[in-house]
Structure 1
Amino acid sequence: MAIRIKSRWWNENNERSLPEMSGALAYIAWRLAVDKAIHLHCERFIYRDDHQRLAVIQEYLIFFIQVADRLAYRNLDDVARRELIVGIARKLVEHLQDNSEDVFGPGDYGSPFFALLNTRSEEYAEFQLTDDGPSYPFLRHLGFEIQQLMGNAEENRWVIDQVMDQDGFDAYERFAKAFDDLFA
């Protein structure tokens, strides 16, 4: 099921602040991550429970933060880029916290996400994003991390291929287009 992503401002003549851009990009990233997690299920990959599903969503969120950082590098100075990326991460934690509390009850869901984000950011730093999109190692890392979460049960053993060959690049294209539209 394809979701509609709104990536144009209602009144395009108004100047937008970086916090507004961060909020919009975080919302788009959240929707795309949830959509990709649902799509894996539609492709007959099996989630053990909601914790596993949310972990997959978090891997996609981290992927989108990495993509946003590289896209921002092309368009913004270092101070603005940092403000944008930190704003996206904070807004994503708000989405994650709200949705996790709805499913799992009260708790701190943001701190573990930030710790994972810091770890993954170091890992993703080795990979390139070109004008054609994420490099093969960039997508492979996303697929590998999701494979680790999903396990090697018979029904999930090809999830890395699904993510690398289809879902990861599609997610990148949709997010990058929204990023470009919002900054146009």
Structure 2
Amino acid sequence: MALRLKSQWHKEDSERTLEEIGGAIAFNAWRLGVDKAVNLHSKQFAYRDDAQRLAVIVEYLIFQALAVERMLFESITDEQRRELVTALVLKLADHYEENSRTLLGEGDYRASFIETFNLRASEYAEFGYTDEGPTYPFLRHLGYEIQQAMGESQVNRWVIDQVIDSDAPELLKQLTRVVKNLFD
């Protein structure tokens, strides 16, 4: 079944703030991250528990936030991009905290998400992103971080290949459409 994303505004002629656009992207990014985590399971990759599944979702969320930042590099100003990405990341942190509390109990999940985002942002900064999308090292880093989150068991040995060859390209295709539609 295809994932339904919400990338159209109800009142199309209304002006949207960057914070609203960031929130809408975050809503869709959360759905895409969950969908890709579920897809890994359907491809026979194994999660030990909900915490591990959430860790994989976090990697997908961070990847998407950084991809959005790169997608918009030339179409909006640095200040606008910073405002949008900040709103996006804070909303993603809210989604992560809400779902983590439901599944794992009380904790400061929001702060750990933001800390992980900041760490990954510095790591991904070393990788290229072209008009065609992320370079191979950018994608490979996502696959590597997902493999680390899932553990390097025999069952999860080839998760990097699944992420690079299938999941990340499909995710980026959907995310690109969402971002384009929300800015139109």
Question: What is the TM-score normalised by the length of structure 2?
Answer: 0.97
Once the two structures are overlaid, the 10-residue window that deviates more, 69-78 or 87-96, is 69-78
1:114 correspondence with 2:114: yes
Q: Secondary structure at the match of 1:32?
A: helix
What is the identity, as a one-letter code, of the residue corresponding to 1:162? Q
1:139 offset after TM fit, Å?
0.4
Once the two structures are overlaid, the 10-residue window that deviates more, 147-156 or 85-94, is 147-156
In 2, Cα distance between the equivalents of 1:104 and 1:114? 18
Match of 1:176 in 2: 176
Query: Is 1:127–1:135's contact at 8 Å kept on the other side of the alignment?
Result: yes
Match of 1:154 in 2: 154
**Paired residues for 1:116-131 under 5 Å:** 116-131=116-131
In 1, Cα distance between the equivalents of 2:97 and 2:41? 23
Match of 2:87 in 1: 87
Question: What is the TM-score normalised by the length of structure 1?
Answer: 0.97
Match of 1:5 in 2: 5
1:72 offset after TM fit, Å?
2.2
What is the alpha-carbon root mean square deviation over aligned residues? 0.9
Query: What are the Cα deviations for residues 21-77 of structure 1, in whole angstroms up to 9, with x where unaligned?
Result: 011000011000000000000111000011100000000010011111112212211
Match of 1:29 in 2: 29
Q: Secondary structure at the match of 1:52?
A: helix
In 1, Cα distance between the equivalents of 2:153 and 2:97? 29
In 1, Cα distance between the equivalents of 2:52 and 2:5? 25
- Hey, which bits of structure 1, 4+ residues long, moved more than 4 A? none
* % identical equivalent positions: 51
1:2 offset after TM fit, Å?
2.5
| Structure 2: runs of 5+ lacking an equivalent | none
In 2, Cα distance between the equivalents of 1:122 and 1:145? 14
What is the identity, as a one-letter code, of the residue corresponding to 1:36? K
| Structure 1: runs of 5+ lacking an equivalent | none
